[in-house]
Structure 1
Amino acid sequence: MDETIVATPWWARVAVWTALPAAGAGLGWVIREVPGWVLRIPFVPVRGPLRLVDRFDEPWATLGAVVLGTIAGLVLAGLVDRESLTVRISGTQVTLTRPGTTRAVPRSAVAVAYREGDQLVLLGPTGREVAREPSHLSVARLAAAFGTVWSAQDPYAGSYRRWVPDLPDVPAEAAALFAARQQALDKGDIDDARDLREELARLGFVLHDRKKRQHFRRVDGL
């Protein structure tokens, strides 16, 4: 079966896992050396705490700082790599894969595909959102892979309006989800905001976030 694949280049993923831990290790070393450098400057205030830090035994202090920096770099690399998307398009389905998660959508259910910021969005024939995944893939490659269903922008861009509490045409169940999601956005809880977006999608709401403000449109014919 013919299959078109658009993936994050392997060398880019290797670079992330190599460069970020190395940068973290370097930053750890720099932070360890900062107190000594600062203490060489005359009239620097708060010299007591700086002297205390500078007296830590070597080479353990430097080694500890480098190890902690490396660990921080590995954590950051893992967060970045979570957004390494692979798109597989066959005659029957579209599969979106990231480390730890896979979502498959029937190809017949994808009427529009477009890029919104750093996310790939797939819409169904009724305008319902059927998939949304972080993506830094080439727009040109995605456009070639999706063909005629690819759009340069959201075709429903003019249909959104801002959510505020107590809108009369938003059912109570959806209003509670909107309120909970707003709290998640304010706290920067990306995972919870994503889960609540999917819950609202099941109720017929398609969301677009602008600077932590929720905008939505209703979908008929679910």
Structure 2
Amino acid sequence: MRKEPDAQADQPTVLAESAWFIVAVCVGCGAVLGELVRLLAGWLVTLRWAPFKGPAKLLESIPEPGLTIGAVSAGALLGLLLAFIALHESLSVSVSDSRVVLTVRDTSREFARDEIRLAFPDGKQLVLLGRDSQELAREDCDLKVARLVAAFTEHGYTWADADPHRDEFRRWVPGTPGLPEGANALFKAREKALNKQDDAEDARELRGELAKLGVVVRDEKKRQYWRMPRRP
């Protein structure tokens, strides 16, 4: 059941990854990794021949306890850096009776309640659908589904356990017929971006360009699938 928004009680439910938990895990794992590197260096110098034996000898030349402190500290700092990157890339979701706000990479996108027909998870992504079944948003999301369900349903949004249009998707191949003009070129460029680990942002932007043409895109193991929204 959907409920009408109450302007006097439009308090948002905000969902986000625990910063302290991410930092603690990353720093802890980094410190352990630093200690393992120290132990590995100590083992390598005992071998007659081994790759990286030169750097290992250099590392082992540092007297204790400086070596252990340095290795653990370096690992912890690396873990802290990874934690900041993870937090920057993580999605936060604010759900209120009147709007949904998705924030990732310091960029927020706001969707009014009357724009949103449905919300659902698709693998490790959160998807919002509009009135004509077009995708308003598709974001990587590590938040627990139970928390998302509670937040959306508490504020009266319709939630589905899976994509109701999943069977409408068709795999894209070069020259696919039935697409709007220019879509095949965008798919081709996006295919190249998906195959490059450092071009995730480019693939994201190209998804947006396809959305402007009315094409809904989902990925599966770097394969692209598409469908067209249902127009009234």
Tell me the TM-score range normalised by the shorter chain: 0.7 to 0.9
- What letter corresponds to residue 201 of structure 2 in structure 1? D
8 Å Cα contact 2:16-2:93 kept in structure 1: no
Match of 2:49? Answer: 46
1:215 pairs with 2:228: no
1:22 maps to 28
CA displacement, residues 57-91 of structure 1 (integer Å, 9 cap, x when unaligned): 41466555444423321232123213443322223
Name the stretch that deviates more: 105-114 or 50-59: 50-59
| Structure 2 contact 118–159 (Cα < 8 Å) conserved | yes
Choose which of 163, 169, 176 in structure 2 pairs with 1:160: 169
What amino acid is the match of 2:191? Q
TM-superposed CA distance for 1:194, in Å, is 1.0
Q: CA offsets, 1:40-59, max 9 Å, x none?
A: 4xxx4524852552244414
CA contact under 8 A between 2:45 and 2:56: conserved in structure 1?
no
TM-score of the aligned structures, taking structure 2 as reference length = 0.82
Q: Please list every run of 5 or more consecutive structure 2 residues that lacks an aligned counterpart in the other structure.
A: 1-8
Contact 2:183 2:210 in 1 (8 A): yes
Change beyond 3 A, Cα 1:92–1:47:
closer
CA drift at 1:170: 2.4
Q: Which residue of 2 aligns with 1:58?
A: 62
Report if aligned partners of 2:186, 2:206 keep a CA contact under 8 Å in 1.
yes
Unpaired runs of at least 5, structure 1? none
Which residue matches 1:95?
A: 101
Instruction: From the superposition, tell whether residues 45 and 181 of structure 1 become closer, same or farther in structure 2 (CA, over 3 Å).
Output: farther
* Secondary structure of the structure 1 residue equivalent to 2:62: coil
Give the residue type in structure 2 aligned to 1:14: W
Superposition map of 1:63-142 within 5 A: 65-98=71-104, 100-142=106-148
Identity of counterpart residues, as a percentage? 40
- TM-score when normalising by structure 1: 0.85
Deviation of 1:172 (Å) = 4.3
| Structure 1 residue 142: Cα displacement | 1.9
Whole-angstrom distance in 2 between the partners of 1:117 and 1:132: 11
Number of equivalent positions: 217
Q: Is the 8 A contact 1:21 1:69 kept in 2?
A: yes
The alignment's C-alpha RMSD in Å is: 2.4
Give secondary structure in 1 for the equivalent of 2:176: coil
Question: How many Å apart are 1:99 and its aligned residue?
Answer: 5.4
Give, in whole Å, the separation in 1 of the partners of 2:51 and 2:108.
54
Q: Which moved more, 1:15-24 or 1:59-68?
A: 59-68
